[in-house]
């Protein structure tokens, strides 16, 4: 489509206001490019209309390439009488290289595919991590998917599916990375690729992977299953570099910005020798002291991940922050990675068997209780999963209930099922 689109005059007085100023203007970029792809004139004219009326003119529809149940975000314009080539103007989500690393061959390839089949608008990246290619009609979308797949790309996720993963740069360029985030991201994506392409969950499930507690992938509140790098045992300390830090920054700075900022007060300063001591058993691996003294301090050598569960933004029960599910797990060998995906499979099975429509994992846990959730997935409770034990006095102690009171239990753990067993099989 694109280059065959109807040409019309650009009329964008509101958008013109976004062409000045020091930040790069996508309006100026797209205006210039509209000479090549005149459909962009229609797009910018419609966007300008939105700026004037404060109204949106896109509706959704459903379009999939054969064998896929997601990845094309189909949009149709309410103004297609005025802007005929926006009648079908879709986005294709593409799974990004883990860590968002590219060579120029890949970038040019995306530019060519995007331009050949549609409007040639590209976004690096969507909020789930995908590369977004914008502006294809129905046929262009499908051909775009074909071209992408022929060149080794794959289509991203949408709907009630495993969503495209995202991870930090990890071991590729960071001294703090406690595991290989890129490799783990590729492993999870590839292992469960059928769940990404064919939505069959009760609702979406997102992973984000960060190499340390700094959480550059924004995992803990933006993903259902954050996987965050950590270590056991002693932190690595180079005392000579600690002394050099103190010499450079001064004692006051060291006390105010390192020693007193430790959330568990586990660092002490030996002023005479300009050394620090860390009570490693009490370190919670928050990363602050390593961030400040990043030459002197390093994560310990026995590294792995903390797996959390349940993060999502406000709809529907309100925000849920992820919480600890597996305090520590090694993630070094290929066997470790398989152990991880086997574990995820079990979590998913219990959630999908018992979750209600549109119920994210965090909402499911909120409804049935973490205790029941742990029983359902076969994990022993661990005090590191909680901030403090319960303060609510109403408890069903199963072990202490007299048998005559117990009644018939249909399910173990006792999760209310959305489809109660009935006599309809009779």
Q: Which is nearer to other proteins, 296 or 347 (CB)?
A: 296
Under rule CB under 8 A, residue 425 binds other proteins: no
- Structural contact between residues 33 and 40, judged by C-beta atoms closer than 8 angstroms: yes
Report the alpha-carbon distance of residue 91 to residue 93 in Å, rounded: 6
Report the alpha-carbon distance of residue 329 to residue 198 in Å, rounded: 29
Under rule CB under 8 A, residue 286 binds other proteins: yes
Region near other proteins per CB under 8 A, out of 17-25, 266-274, 346-354, 393-401: 17-25
Q: Which of residues 126-145 bind other proteins (CB under 8 A)?
A: 127, 134, 139, 142-143, 145
Under rule CB under 8 A, residue 83 binds other proteins: no
In terms of DSSP bridges, do strands 90-94 and 131-136 run parallel, antiparallel, or are they unpaired?
antiparallel
Eight-state DSSP code of residue 414: -
Among 83, 88, 96, 207, binds other proteins (CB under 8 A): 96
Q: Which is nearer to other proteins, 329 or 377 (CB)?
A: 329
Q: Which is nearer to other proteins, 317 or 338 (CB)?
A: 317
Among 194, 247, 345, 412, binds other proteins (CB under 8 A): 194
In angstroms, give the least distance from the CB of 402 to other proteins. Answer: 34
| Cα distances (Å, whole numbers) of residue 285 to 115, 129, 175, 254, 273 | 46, 26, 15, 19, 25
Which tokens belong to 376? 């359902």
Q: Which of residues 208-267 bind other proteins (CB under 8 A)?
A: 213-222, 228, 256-257, 261-263
Q: In which element (H, E) is residue 323 found?
A: strand 323-329
Among 152, 389, 407, 420, binds other proteins (CB under 8 A): 152
In angstroms, give the least distance from the CB of 172 to other proteins. Answer: 5
Under rule CB under 8 A, residue 25 binds other proteins: yes
In angstroms, give the least distance from the CB of 426 to other proteins. Answer: 25
Region near other proteins per CB under 8 A, out of 115-123, 345-353, 378-386, 405-413: 115-123
In angstroms, give the least distance from the CB of 152 to other proteins. Answer: 6
Q: Which of residues 306-365 bind other proteins (CB under 8 A)?
A: 313-319, 321, 356-358
Under rule CB under 8 A, residue 124 binds other proteins: yes
Q: Which is nearer to other proteins, 321 or 338 (CB)?
A: 321
In angstroms, give the least distance from the CB of 63 to other proteins. Answer: 13
Contacts of 85 (CB under 8 A, 6+ apart): 1, 5, 6, 39, 42, 137
Report the alpha-carbon distance of residue 29 to residue 121 in Å, rounded: 10
Greatest CA separation found in the chain?
83
In terms of DSSP bridges, do strands 207-210 and 225-232 run parallel, antiparallel, or are they unpaired?
parallel
**How many residues belong to the site for other proteins (CB under 8 A)?**
132
Q: Which long-range contacts (CB under 8 A, 24 or more apart) does 242-247 make?
A: 242/274, 242/275, 242/276, 242/293, 242/296, 242/297, 243/273, 243/274, 243/275, 244/295, 244/296, 245/293, 245/295, 245/296, 246/274, 247/274
Q: Which is nearer to other proteins, 172 or 377 (CB)?
A: 172
Q: How many CA atoms lie within 13 A of 64 on its CB side?
A: 13
Q: Which of residues 62-81 bind other proteins (CB under 8 A)?
A: 65-68, 73, 75
Q: Which is nearer to other proteins, 154 or 224 (CB)?
A: 154
First-last CA distance in the chain:
57
Among 33, 79, 87, 275, binds other proteins (CB under 8 A): 33
């Amino acid at each position: 489509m694109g280059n065959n689109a109807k040409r019309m005059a650009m009329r964008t007085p509101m958008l013109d206001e976004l062409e000045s100023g020091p930040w790069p203007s996508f309006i100026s970029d797209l205006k210039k490019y509209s000479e090549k792809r005149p459909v962009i004139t229609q797009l910018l004219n419609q966007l300008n209309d939105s700026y004037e009326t404060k109204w949106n003119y896109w509706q959704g529809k459903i379009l999939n390439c054969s064998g896929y149940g997601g990845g094309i975000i189909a949009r149709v314009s309410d103004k297609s009488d005025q802007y005929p080539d926006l009648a079908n103007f879709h986005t294709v989500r593409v799974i990004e290289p883990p860590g968002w690393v590219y060579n120029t061959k890949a970038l040019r390839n995306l530019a060519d595919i995007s331009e050949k089949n549609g409007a040639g608008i590209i976004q690096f990246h969507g909020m789930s991590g995908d590369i977004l290619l914008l502006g294809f009609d129905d046929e262009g979308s499908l051909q775009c998917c074909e071209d992408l797949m022929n060149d080794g790309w794959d289509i991203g996720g949408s709907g009630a599916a495993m969503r495209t993963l995202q991870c930090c740069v990890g071991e590729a360029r960071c001294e703090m990375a406690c595991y290989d985030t890129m490799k783990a991201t590729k492993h999870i994506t590839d292992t469960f690729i059928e769940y990404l392409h064919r939505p069959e969950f009760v609702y979406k499930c997102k992973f984000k992977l960060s190499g340390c507690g700094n959480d550059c992938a924004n995992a803990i509140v933006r993903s259902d299953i954050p996987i965050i790098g950590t270590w056991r045992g002693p932190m690595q300390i180079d005392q000579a570099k600690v002394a050099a830090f103190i010499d450079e920054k001064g004692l006051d700075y060291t006390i105010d910005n390192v020693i007193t900022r430790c959330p568990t007060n586990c660092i002490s300063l030996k002023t005479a020798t300009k050394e620090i001591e860390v009570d490693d058993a009490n370190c919670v691996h928050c990363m602050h002291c390593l961030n400040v003294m990043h030459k002197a301090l390093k994560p310990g050598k026995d590294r792995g991940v903390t797996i959390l569960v349940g993060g999502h933004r406000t709809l529907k029960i309100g925000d849920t922050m992820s919480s600890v599910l597996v305090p520590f797990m090694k993630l070094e060998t290929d066997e470790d990675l398989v152990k991880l995906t086997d574990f995820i499979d079990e979590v998913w099975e219990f959630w999908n068997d018992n979750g209600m429509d549109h119920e994210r994992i965090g909402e499911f846990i909120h409804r049935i209780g973490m205790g029941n959730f742990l029983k359902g997935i076969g994990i022993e409770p661990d005090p590191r999963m909680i901030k403090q034990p319960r303060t609510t006095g109403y408890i069903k102690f199963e072990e202490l209930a007299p048998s005559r009171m117990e009644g018939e239990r249909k399910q173990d753990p006792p999760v209310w099922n959305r489809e109660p067993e009935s006599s309809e099989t009779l």
